[in-house]
Amino acid sequence: MDYIKIRFISDFDQIDSEVEKTIDGMFRSISPMFMLSARKWKPQMDIYETPDQILILAEIAGVKKEDLELEISNKAVRIYGIRAEFPRGENAKYRLAEIQYGRFERILYLPAPIDPEVVSASYSNGFLQIRLAKLSLDKIRKIDITHG
């Protein structure tokens, strides 16, 4: 059985500056081949929740499972990795270039606290699905008071 690497961490590094992202996005809209830096692309994602779970669905077709990383903290999930460029034929010229290759990263902030002991991830047909169990904050615990 193959496993997806999941790491639990306390906090995430600071993301690229807002100015750099804005300038990079502006030039990328002109041409996807023109970038100021080695830009990370952002896969499409859905987050939804049930009373017991938070579910994340990421569209990352073409990414090998061994090139995929998942980190979970008490407040966020970081999904990152790399998608290798599909080999094109010899003497081929691009007429349209919309598929993004290279490194990708998404940091998603969770809507509720999770139980780090109850996390699962699966990857099938280009979709990564992450299931996070919510912490039950409604439980009442009775504490005995002792003499002393």
- Please report the domains of the chain, with CATH numbers, ordered by start residue: 44-84+101-134 (2.60.40.790)
Q: Report the alpha-carbon distance of residue 16 to residue 11 in Å, rounded.
A: 16
Whether 102 and 38 have beta carbons less than 8 Å apart is answered as: yes
The pTM of the whole model exceeds 0.75: no
Residue by residue, pLDDT tens for the chain (148 residues) are: 566 777 777 765 544 445 555 665 666 556 555 554 456 899 999 999 999 999 999 999 999 999 999 999 878 999 999 999 888 888 888 888 888 999 999 999 999 999 888 899 999 999 999 999 998 776 677 788 888 7
In this structure, the strands spanning 6-8 and 102-109 are unpaired
Is the sign of the CA dihedral 13, 45, 60, 54 positive or negative? positive
Whether 8 and 72 have beta carbons less than 8 Å apart is answered as: yes
| Nearest partner of 65 among 47, 83, 78, judged by Cα | 83
Tell me how long the chain is.
148
| Those residues with Cβ within 8 angstroms of residue 24's Cβ, 6 or more apart along the chain or in another chain | 35, 36, 37, 39
Q: Report the alpha-carbon distance of residue 50 to residue 115 in Å, rounded.
A: 14
Is the sign of the CA dihedral 134, 15, 71, 46 positive or negative? positive
pLDDT score, position 15? 44
Q: What is the DSSP string of 85-126?
A: PPPPPTT---S------EEEEEEEE-SS-EEEEEEEEEEETT
